[in-house]
Amino acid sequence: MPIDSDRIEAAVAELLAAIGDDPGREGLRETPRRVASAYRELFAGVGRDPAEALASRSDFPDSAERAGEVVVLRGIEFRSMCEHHLLPFFGEAHVAYLPGARFAGLGALADAVEIAAARPQLQERLTEDVADALLSGLGARGVLVVLEAAHGCVSARGPRQGSARTVTLAARGALEDPVRRAEAMRLIGGGLGPAVARAEATAPEAATAPADPEARIETPERT
């Protein structure tokens, strides 16, 4: 369903009046229009399936020979809006998958995260949404998704903990296995915050997991 900019503008004007301000005063006159424009971008993923970014932009290079490789893309920057307070949360997503028949372009992985994030969300559900998209969109044999984010509802209100970060994880298929999951976590560990990386490195599962010489790491270039 397309975003109704007129309704957003009317709602924002009413909200400004409801908090006791004057939506017609200098400085606020253009605010309803600006908010509507921002919401077109922030909520562009409403009604869309993030798997579409993967299904339409995947290929099949030497899949029979490379089916054992773990593909890791870490440091995917994202922002979303918490559905509880409509305040932003933002951070980085780290994804790993064991290919089945398809390999995705690295930009497609980032696009899938962007689509899943561009809607009213909870971080826990966003992590699950991305994992399910990789599983269905690529036919992956295993998926691991880790999100680390700062939340406006924690830093700007209530406890006001500006340095707090929330970490969530979702695993699917072969990467639900503790040893395989520990392998993938070691590969993406460099993209996580120091405390999370240390905790994973000292976990019993990580200590006993064998290294995977075939694994490869893909890191996005910063532009």
Let me know whether 67 and 125 are in one domain: yes
Let me know whether 135 and 199 are in one domain: yes
Task: Check pLDDT > 50 for residue 212.
Answer: no
Let me know whether 36 and 63 are in one domain: no
Q: What's the half-sphere exposure (Cβ side, CA atoms, 13 Å) at 126?
A: 34
Q: How many domains does the chain have?
A: 2
68 in any annotated domain: yes
pLDDT at 160: 85
Task: Check pLDDT > 60 for residue 67.
Answer: no
Let me know whether 17 and 98 are in one domain: no
pLDDT at 190: 58
For the chain, how far is it from start to end, CA to CA, in angstroms?
A: 32
Mean of the per-residue pLDDT values of the chain: 84
Let me know whether 35 and 62 are in one domain: no
CATH number at residue 12: 1.10.286.10
User: In terms of residue numbers, what domain contains 202?
Assistant: 58-218
Q: What is the mean pLDDT of residues 118-147?
A: 96
Q: What is the mean pLDDT of residues 190-197?
A: 52
In the numeric block, the tokens 């691991």 are attached to 144
Q: Dig out the tokens for 12 from the structure.
A: 């924002």
Q: What is the mean pLDDT of residues 119-145?
A: 96
Q: Provide the 3-class DSSP secondary structure of residue 120.
A: strand
Q: What's the half-sphere exposure (Cβ side, CA atoms, 13 Å) at 154?
A: 13
Q: Rounded to a whole number, what is the largest CA-CA distance in the chain?
A: 66
Let me know whether 36 and 110 are in one domain: no
CATH number at residue 193: 3.30.1130.10
String of b and e for 96-106 (b: at least 16 CB within 10 Å)?
bbbbeebbbee
175 in any annotated domain: yes
CA separation, residue 129 to residues 18, 78, 170 (Å): 35, 14, 9
Let me know whether 193 and 159 are in one domain: yes
Task: In whole angstroms, give the CA distance from residue 1 to residue 24.
Answer: 30
Which of 178, 205, 190 lies closest to 92 in space, CA to CA?
190
